[in-house]
Amino acid sequence: GKSGYEHYTLKEIHEQPRAVRQCLRGRPQPFEGSISIEELEDVPRPTEVQFAACGTSYHASLYAARLFRERGVRATAFLASEYDAAAVPIDEGTLVVGVTQSGETADTLRALRTANAVGARTLAVTNVVGSSAARETDRAMYVRAGPEIGVAATKTFTSQQVALAMLSSALTDDRSGEFVAALRALPDRIQSILDDSRAREIAAEYVGSDAYFFVGRGLAHPVALEGALKTKELTYEHAEGFAAGELKHGPLALVTPETPVIALVSGRANTERMLGTITEVRARGAPVVAVTDDPESVERRVDRVLRVPETHRRFFPILANVQLQLLAYWVANGLGRSIDKPRNLAKSVTVE
Ligand code: F6R
């Protein structure tokens, strides 16, 4: 049942501390500062990683590709429907990773099959044990978020990000006590957001806007895209995610006093450049909501603040996304939408 929540989606947002705990179980090694993934123990270290995924899982893949690149491994995220293994160079060091919650998404399975056909090594990162993606790849890493009933991916996205952050560390033999400690603290950090979030009251202020724009840079860019996707799905309203630096190359024409801009501002990186973007959109009259771990630096420069606790630089996007989920949920709730089963959408997309 919904355990007293009005929707499964809200229940699943609140289940995230537990989902992440399950995802982590046994994997971080606090004494070594390393990550051990049982399913992948003897997997050779890739020299290049290609991700293929759709929708929310694609956003998790963009985040993961960036983490690999930061650790010195070439990595690219492809939309599975656009992935053409025959046209993408593959060599013996390439690992093709299909990221799919359900393990049954037709576009992602097709991408994995073409990768298998050209002789690439393949890995599925999936939430469903024994799914097609798990069976048709060389190896599977399980996300262990538990079953998700809401059509919109929430706890499974958060857990995918955590799983992929661990994957990027394990496959690059990274060792960092700080990284491991911050990973293990994530369930409590997420819990504190769920306990104190002001997303509900902020959603009530901005419900009925013409559009919602999400901006982020670097590691937070994928989460800007995800915040917009979640808002589209749950609210049926116009929402877009942008790399903050791209606004001035066109999208700024859309910005008005009726289009709130939700800005992801991490004090550990990019605050100054994000403040530049914030100044640009405010000059066009747009209200700005900052999702930030550094409220002191932004408070006077924005209209509203959704704060997230401090964490390792690499995990800011994971925490910020929880606020974006709550914001999308409460806007949709205010509009009376069919939140658990949005119109036109299915949980598992088994056609190409
Ligand atoms: C968004 C959503 C979809 C899925 C996409 C891929 O909330 O649920 O965008 O992320 O259809 O599904 P999986 O991960 O099952 O391959």
Which of 346, 292, 286, 322 lies closest to 106, judged by CA?
346
CA distance 69 to 26: 25
pTM of the model: 0.98
Mutate to test the pocket of ligand 1, among 7, 61, 101 (most ligand atoms within 8 A of CB): 101
DSSP letters for 231-273: HHHHH-S-EEEEEGGGGGGTGGGG--TTS-EEEEEBTTB-HHH
Tell how far the Cα of 349 is from the centroid of ligand 1, in angstroms: 8
Tell how far the Cα of 148 is from the centroid of ligand 1, in angstroms: 11
The one-letter code for the residue type at 214 is: F
Q: Which atom of ligand 1 is nearest to the CA of 157?
A: 10
Catalytic status, residue 232: no
User: Whose C-alpha lies nearest to ligand 1, atom 16?
Assistant: 100
Mutate to test the pocket of ligand 1, among 8, 102, 324, 340 (most ligand atoms within 8 A of CB): 102
**pLDDT digit string, tens, across residues 191-245:** 999 999 999 999 999 999 999 999 999 999 999 999 999 999 999 999 999 999 9
Q: Is the C-beta atom of 79 inside 6 A of ligand 1? A: no
Tell how far the Cα of 158 is from the centroid of ligand 1, in angstroms: 13
Mean pLDDT, the chain, rounded, equals: 96
Q: Is the C-beta atom of 9 inside 6 A of ligand 1? A: no
Q: Which atom of ligand 1 is nearest to the CA of 133?
A: 16
90-109: average pLDDT: 97
Q: Is the C-beta atom of 228 inside 6 A of ligand 1? A: no
272 confidence band (pLDDT: 50, 70, 90): confident
267 confidence band (pLDDT: 50, 70, 90): confident
CB 259 within 8 A of CB 231: no
Residues 6+ away with beta carbon under 8 Å from 206:
212, 260, 287, 289, 331
Residue 253 CA neighbour count, 13 Å, CB half: 3
User: Whose C-alpha lies nearest to ligand 1, atom 3?
Assistant: 55
CA distance 6 to 26: 33
Residues 6+ away with beta carbon under 8 Å from 87:
none
Tell how far the Cα of 155 is from the centroid of ligand 1, in angstroms: 12
CA distance 204 to 310: 26
Q: Is the C-beta atom of 153 inside 6 A of ligand 1? A: yes
90-102: average pLDDT: 96
Mutate to test the pocket of ligand 1, among 7, 51, 54, 341 (most ligand atoms within 8 A of CB): 54
Q: Is the C-beta atom of 56 inside 6 A of ligand 1? A: yes
Distance of CA 60 to the CA centre of its chain: 4
Alpha helix stretches (DSSP H) within the chain: 8-14, 16-24, 55-70, 106-117, 132-135, 155-170, 177-196, 199-206, 221-235, 271-283, 295-298, 316-334
Tell how far the Cα of 278 is from the centroid of ligand 1, in angstroms: 31
pLDDT at 271: 83
ipTM associated with this complex: 0.99
CA 298, 269, 97, 41 torsion-angle sign: negative
User: Whose C-alpha lies nearest to ligand 1, atom 6?
Assistant: 54
Q: Is the C-beta atom of 233 inside 6 A of ligand 1? A: yes
pLDDT score of 176 more than 90: yes
